[in-house]
Amino acid sequence: MATNLWLLLAIPVILRLLKSKRLPSRETIIKPSEERVVLLGASSGVGRDLAHAYAKRGARMYVSYSQMHENYAEGIDAW
């Protein structure tokens, strides 16, 4: 019975130690040029900004949108 109580008390301490370990940054795991990105709703707003940011990093992208704005179609080739 005492062993079970000790285990129950040790679990929060172990979880806290595991959470405190810093994970490696994303750039060290995957090079930006090797990223594959699927963006939904990339014709305006946040989706469009994300598409531009990933394009500048050199990621390969699949861009999806429901309605294409006229000026967006002209700018997509410039990426």
Looking at residue 73, its pLDDT comes to: 52
The partner residues of 38 in beta bridges, in order of sequence, read 62
Mean pLDDT, range 62-76, rounded to an integer: 62
Longest dimension (CA), the chain: 71
Q: How far apart are CA 12 and CA 19, in angstroms?
A: 11
Kindly report the backbone phi and psi dihedral angles of residue 77, in degrees, each rounded to the nearest multiple of 5, phi listed first: -75, -20
Q: What angle do CA 72, 66, 47 make, to 5 degrees?
A: 60
Assigned token pair, 76: 């997509």
Output the pTM of the full model: 0.51
pLDDT digits (tens, 9 = 90+) for 34-64: 888 888 887 778 888 888 888 888 888 888 7
Name the nearest CA neighbour of 62 among 75, 74, 50, 45. Answer: 50
